[in-house]
């Protein structure tokens, strides 16, 4: 079996490890290929530009036909133009040049605009106000119109990465108002395992929420971190309405994914915090 993995950054590297361990051959594509320090058997790294139809056409001509495609490339913290190039145009180019190959697009739970603390499922309204969120929704529709799979990922954390924990340990964290806003997160390795299960046929075409089983308020998160690390609570500040992906307050339901047998090994961010702190 052959995976075409578009995006070989923080999440992509975990995805490639999961697939390689499962016996797949993996072609990992990024904008600029970096030679691995240690060669990885069955991992082929190539450079290609998802925003360029010609580049993806050349890619399609140069590799064996894949059995599954994962688009998890990042926008490089860019704005609407980068979102449109990498996500919307990138998915369309993959569909155009790899006819009939199942495609999984990693979107974001930020497309849910709810601010009332309600629980959201895949059936809940997803009409984000920000242009970046709207582009994600357009990309989702492109994938879904071609029988694709859309994974809406919560905030990713894992070894060496957690903005929340890093700011807390550095004394730079803040509590928005009374801290009621719910934080939805997913460990990188749990997300990678879910993507493998999708490739193995456990997830049919459609939308799937990928979040851990313990959405936690900002107040409870920082209270737990304060107790774990013996540090003071962060100060309270007004809510940040200028977030890149918008200010939302909702609890993401992952029951659809759990029903097909996926269970997060890291059921909550707080349970993994000590381990993650040692890697930061």
What domains appear along the chain, each with residue ranges and CATH number? 2-159+186-213+251-265 (3.40.50.720)
Of the pLDDT bands very low, low, confident and very high (cuts 50, 70, 90), residue 36 is low
Does 35 have pLDDT greater than 70? Answer: no
* Model pTM score: 0.94
| Averaged pLDDT, 109-133 | 96
Does 245 have pLDDT greater than 60? Answer: no
Segment among 26-30, 40-44, 118-122 with least mean pLDDT: 40-44
Predicted confidence at residue 240, as pLDDT, reads 73
Predicted confidence at residue 244, as pLDDT, reads 55
- Residue 28 CA to residue 9 CA, distance in Å, equals 10
| Averaged pLDDT, 146-155 | 98
Instruction: Tell me if 144 sits within 8 A of 204, measured CB to CB.
Output: no
Report pLDDT digits (tens) over 49-75.
999 999 999 999 999 999 999 999 998
Of the pLDDT bands very low, low, confident and very high (cuts 50, 70, 90), residue 42 is confident
Which are the contacts of 46, defined by CB distance < 8 A and separation ≥ 6? 27, 28, 29, 33, 59, 62, 63
Q: How many CB atoms lie within 10 A of CB 210?
A: 27
Predicted confidence at residue 219, as pLDDT, reads 97
Does 121 have pLDDT greater than 90? Answer: yes
């Amino acid at each position: 079996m052959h995976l075409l993995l578009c995006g070989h950054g923080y999440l992509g590297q975990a995805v490639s490890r999961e697939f390689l361990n499962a016996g797949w051959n993996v072609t990992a594509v990024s904008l600029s290929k970096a030679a691995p320090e240690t060669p990885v058997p069955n991992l082929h790294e190539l450079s290609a530009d998802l925003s360029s139809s010609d580049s993806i056409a050349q890619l399609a001509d140069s590799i064996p036909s894949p059995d599954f495609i994962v688009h998890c490339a990042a926008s490089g913290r860019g704005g609407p133009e980068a979102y449109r190039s990498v996500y919307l145009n990138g998915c369309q180019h993959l569909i155009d040049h790899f006819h009939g190959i199942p495609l999984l697009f990693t979107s974001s739970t930020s497309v849910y605009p709810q601010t009332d603390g309600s629980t959201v499922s895949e059936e809940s309204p997803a009409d984000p106000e920000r242009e970046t969120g709207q582009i994600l929704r357009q990309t989702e529709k492109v994938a879904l119109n071609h029988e694709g799979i859309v994974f809406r990922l919560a905030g990713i954390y894992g070894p060496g990465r957690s903005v929340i924990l890093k700011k807390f340990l550095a004394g730079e964290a803040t509590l928005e108002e009374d801290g009621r806003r719910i934080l939805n997160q997913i460990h990188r390795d749990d997300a990678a395992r879910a993507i493998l299960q999708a490739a193995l046929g456990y997830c049919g075409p459609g939308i799937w929420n990928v979040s851990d089983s313990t959405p936690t308020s900002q107040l409870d998160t920082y209270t737990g971190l304060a107790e774990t690390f013996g540090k003071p609570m962060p100060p309270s500040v007004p809510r940040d309405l200028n977030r890149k992906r918008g200010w939302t307050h909702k609890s993401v339901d992952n029951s659809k994914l759990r029903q097909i047998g996926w269970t997060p090994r890291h059921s909550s961010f707080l349970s993994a915090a000590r381990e993650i702190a040692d890697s930061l």
